[in-house]
Structures are given as C-alpha cells and as structure tokens.
C-alpha cells in the first residue's frame, strides 16, 4: 500500500495531469459534484451547524497528505496558553475505532482514539476529544473540560462545526500539486478556497525559497500568507521519552508512517545523520513488533513522534524519535491572539 501511495503522490505532484488521471475524470466529476452539494446543504441550512459558545479555530488543508497541521496545532496551543487562555483540541481520531466521542488520556489506546490525537494530548497536556463528527466532539469537550478556546485539528471540510478562524496549511515544496481535485489530483477543494481562509500558512516558506518547489499563486494568497518552518527540538527515546543528545551509532534506519515522509527524511539529513535505509509505511500505520523483526538489532531506528506513540509498547532501547516544533512570525501570534480575545469579548456581551 505504501508503494502505491507513493506512486499516486508522484502522479499528483507533477506539473500536468498524469495520463492515468484522464481515466479518472468521471470519478473527479462525481467528487466535485458531491462535495459541492454537501457544502451547499450547509449554506442553505439544510444540515445542522453547531456553533460553540467559545471561539473555534480550524486548522486544515485543501489537499490530502501531510502539510504540517499537527505542528501548527501545537504551536497555537502554546500561543493561547501564553495569553492565559485554556485551549482544547477536537480531532476526527483517524484510525481509531472508538467509541466516540471520547476524551483522550495518556493511557488511551491509539487503536481507539487514533495516533495523532494521542500525540497531541501527550505533548500539549490540554484536553483532547475525538469523534468523526467534530460538532459532537466539541460539545463533549466543553462538557468534560474547562477549555475556553477550541482548536479543530484537520477540520476544514467539516462544516457541521461553525468556525471563527480558519488556518489553512500548504506545503511550500509541494504546493497544490497539479491543481486537480480528487482523485485526479490532491485537492479536496479548489485552490480559490484559500481566499476565504483567515490565514494561509506556508510550511517551509522562506524568502530564499519563495519560488522553489510549486509555490501557490499570489492570487490565492493576498496578504494572508504566514511563513512557518518546522525545526528539530531534540531527540527522545521511544520507550520512555527520555531526552538524549543524539542517536547512538554512526548509521541509522529511518522509519516514517506519515503523510509526507520526505519532509521528515530531509530533517534527518539536516541533523547530519547517516541514513543507511529508509522505510515508508502508510499514514497512520498500526505498527506491530513484527514490522521491525529484521532490523531491530542492526542499527538504531529513528522515527517521528507520531510513529513513536504506537511503537512505545514494544520499543527497544536504541529506538529514538525526533521532536519537532513550528516557528511562526511574531505578527501572526499577535494577530490571532487579538482575534481570539475580540471573539471572547463579543461572546460575553
């Protein structure tokens, strides 16, 4: 499955539509019609929309695959907490079997709540609630915590939950791919959807690489663009999250089961690790010890923090994960903080 996923990604992120995409055009038209009708139903109030009594920030993307939503979500938690606010997170709980809605704890099973929500709670220590229906998750979160701001992780297309602020993340190196909607391309919504977002966060953007990769056309950005860089924040042992200076050994095996493994491997190269082998699994892969039976004694294994939460029960001492965080400009922090405070003031009237 991972090989097929990588092949599809190569098709999607080329400049023009792959020949296979022409065969998928009928499915593309169905997807466009279905998603359009679905959004129209919410706009016409034919489907119920839940508006929470607290500000709701949605972090999402218009393309499939990893763009950097999780680091941005954690950065927003930190920003809001430094302002004395009490953020909570709602998530779909992708890969989790429920029951839903469910509050996440440090003892939660990732097979029930999903790997990303468990990691979000473990790292941030804020209340996290999971449910495929974000509105139910938001109501459950408010009933079982004292949070006064809700951050919806990957909820841009879930219109049943009303939102006050939208942050859409785009990978600077991959951009919007070939610009086609699913399944001919990677887009869930058209590129013009970016114009309606409060912020378009360009992950990996710097002035030096502004024209590198597949940059998003300026007509979709306006003055809303925010530059974000993902930075390494040190190594941890998978088995107990103990900080270490650097992985043991001269060479490592790199493992990734995320939406964009290439970004993680680039980070490892920046850390000057010698990677003897890379292993790519499907996003949200449910790891078992057998996945490592032929490598566990050869070299140290390095992985992402999201992968680590699923490997912890059977991790060996020489397995490590790289902790990362998002660097954001000060003016973005000031703007979004001011927006949230104004929304809270309006709610109190």
pLDDT single digits (tens) 192-221:
999 999 999 999 887 666 666 666 777 887
Residue 65 annotated as binding?
yes
**pLDDT averaged over the chain?**
90
pLDDT at 210: 64
Please determine, for residue 43, whether its predicted confidence score (pLDDT) is greater than 90: no
pLDDT at 146: 96
Per cent of the chain over pLDDT 90 is: 70
- pLDDT bin (cut points 50, 70, 90) of residue 259 is confident
Domain spans, the chain: 9-228+329-347, 230-327
Residue 114 annotated as binding?
no
Tell me which long-range contacts 108-117 makes (C-beta under 8 A, separation of at least 24).
Answer: 110/286, 110/309, 110/310, 111/286, 114/284, 115/284, 115/306, 115/307, 115/309, 115/310, 116/70, 116/91, 116/153, 116/284, 116/306, 117/89, 117/91, 117/93, 117/153
pLDDT at 296: 62
Please check whether residue 155 is in contact with residue 52, taking contact to mean a CB–CB distance below 8 angstroms.
no
Q: Residues of 208-246 as b/e, b for ≥16 C-beta within 10 angstroms?
A: eeeeeebbbeeebbeebbbbbbbeeeebbbbbeeeeeee
Residue 69 annotated as binding?
yes
Residue 68 annotated as binding?
yes
pLDDT at 215: 67
Pairing of strands 301-304, 199-203: unpaired
Segment 99-124 mean pLDDT: 95
pLDDT at 265: 93
Residue 213 annotated as binding?
no
pLDDT at 7: 73
Top CATH class of 9-228+329-347 equals alpha beta
Per cent of the chain over pLDDT 70 is: 95
Residue 21 annotated as binding?
no
pLDDT at 174: 86
- pLDDT bin (cut points 50, 70, 90) of residue 330 is very high
Q: pTM of the predicted model, to two decimals? A: 0.92
CA distances from 147 to 89, 132, 170, 172 (A): 9, 20, 28, 33
pLDDT per residue as tens digits for the range 274-298: 999 999 998 889 999 999 988 767 7
């Amino acid at each position: 499955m991972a090989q097929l996923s990588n092949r599809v990604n190569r098709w999607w992120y080329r400049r023009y539509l792959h020949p296979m995409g022409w065969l998928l055009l009928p499915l593309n038209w169905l997807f466009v019609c279905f998603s359009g009708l679905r959004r129209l139903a919410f706009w016409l109030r034919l489907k119920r929309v839940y508006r929470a009594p607290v500000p709701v920030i949605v972090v999402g993307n218009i393309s499939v695959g990893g763009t950097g939503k999780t680091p941005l979500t954690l950065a927003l938690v930190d920003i809001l907490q430094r302002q004395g606010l009490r953020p909570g997170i709602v998530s779909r709980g992708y890969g989790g079997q429920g029951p839903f809605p469910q509050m996440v704890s440090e003892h939660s099973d990732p097979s029930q709540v999903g790997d990303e929500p468990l990691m979000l709670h473990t790292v941030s220590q804020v209340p996290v609630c999971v449910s495929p229906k974000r509105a139910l998750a938001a109501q459950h979160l408010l009933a079982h915590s004292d949070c006064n701001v809700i951050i919806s992780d990957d909820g841009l297309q879930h219109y049943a939950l009303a939102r006050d602020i939208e942050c859409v993340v785009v990978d600077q190196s991959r951009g919007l791919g070939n610009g086609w909607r699913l399944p001919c391309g990677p887009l869930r919504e058209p590129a013009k959807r970016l114009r309606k977002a409060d912020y378009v966060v360009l992950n990996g953007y710097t002035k030096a690489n502004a024209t590198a990769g597949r940059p998003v056309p300026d007509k979709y950005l306006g003055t809303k663009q925010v530059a974000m860089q993902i930075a390494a924040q040190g190594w941890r042992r998978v088995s107990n999250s103990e900080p270490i200076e650097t992985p043991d050994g001269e060479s490592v095996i790199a493992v990734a089961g995320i939406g964009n493994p290439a970004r993680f491997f680039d980070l490892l190269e920046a850390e000057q690790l010698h990677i003897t082998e890379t292993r790519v699994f499907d996003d949200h892969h449910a790891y078992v010890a057998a996945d490592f039976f032929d490598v566990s004694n050869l070299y140290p294994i390095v992985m992402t923090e999201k992968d680590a939460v699923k490997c912890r029960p059977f991790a060996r001492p020489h397995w490590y994960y790289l902790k990362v965080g998002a660097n954001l400009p000060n003016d973005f922090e000031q703007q979004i903080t001011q927006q949230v405070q104004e929304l809270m003031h309006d709610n109190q009237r």
